[in-house]
Amino acid sequence: MSPPPSTPALSVGLIGFGAFGRLIARHLAPHLRVLAHDPFVAADAFGPDAVPADLATAAACPVVILATPVPALRAVARALAPHLRPGALVADVGSVKVVPAAILREELPAHAEILATHPLFGPQSARDGIRGLKLAACPVRGRGGLRAAAFLRRLLGLEVILTTPEAHDREMAVVQGLTHLVAKVLVRMEPLPARMTTRSFERIMEAVGMVRHYAPEVFAAIERQNPFAPQVRRRFLALAAELEAELDADRSVAPRLALVR
């Protein structure tokens, strides 16, 4: 195999240049040279924050960020594995962590370090900047992930939460799983009232607005790739059904109480 292409020491390879890839590039560009690869994006569409690159060149950077959907992660990891330099740090940014961490362990060479991350924000919630926002970081292999966490805290001002893939997915099954589930239901109920609204209802609709335009694969990953999501979803729906039964029972009792009075 020929040696990997030469790249500057302060370069980061970015695989995937969708909405979140563009967000990453915008905030890393002031600090690092971003070499981005996405076969579905034209070379003249990368803008000022990233330099278009082929896969081998992007994968040869000291840090490689995978901003790809979870279902595509294994194929991407296999494709970039031969081009990784010894000691390179590979990080993903998916909404779930148990499955991606396992894929990267299996597909990447032993000389590559691995950091599974989940920025707890998206293009909508980050439109006013990312300083102070949260990012979950799960060091999987090597110590490069801890250095990356320090960089994200110091230069980007993120609140980095060190955790494990399992602990992350267990909490996100509630935090994200229920948020996106409720938002999907409310979107399907549209049109909803917009004139006579309470502040609490407006807050709920603000949350719906923050996630309603996420790509369908994001919702699929949150609900199907998180091993803890089905249990949380079933419990939520069971409690909703239980509450509905209680309300139905209350309606049947109310007329009898009126007659007694």
pLDDT tens, the chain, 261 aa long: 444 455 444 899 999 999 999 999 999 999 999 999 999 999 889 999 999 999 999 999 999 999 999 999 999 999 999 999 999 999 999 999 999 999 999 999 999 999 999 999 999 899 999 999 999 999 999 999 999 999 999 999 999 999 999 999 999 999 999 999 999 999 999 999 999 999 999 999 999 999 998 889 999 999 999 999 999 999 999 999 999 999 999 776 555 555 555
Tell me the one-letter amino acid at 158.
L
Q: Name the phi and psi angles at 129, rounded to 5.
A: 115, 165
**Residue 89 token pair:** 């740090």
Largest CA distance in the chain: 91
Contact 80, 53 (CB under 8 A): no
* Residue 160 main-chain phi, psi, to 5 deg: -90, 125
* Domains delineated in the chain: 11-163 (3.40.50.720), 168-260 (no CATH)
Rounded CA-CA distance 2/82 in Å is: 10
Q: Can you read off the two tokens belonging to residue 226? A: 């998180």
User: Under a CB-based contact definition with an 8 Å cutoff, are residues 50 and 17 in contact?
Assistant: yes
Q: pLDDT tens digit string along 139-181?
A: 999 999 999 999 999 999 999 999 999 999 999 999 999 999 9
Whole-number CA gyration radius for the chain: 22
CA distances from 153 to 28, 135, 149, 150 (A): 13, 10, 6, 5
3-state secondary structure of 40: coil
pTM reported for the whole predicted model: 0.89
Q: How far is CA 23 from the centre of its chain?
A: 12
| Per-residue confidence (pLDDT) for residue 3, from 0 to 100 | 44
d(CA 124, CA 153): 21
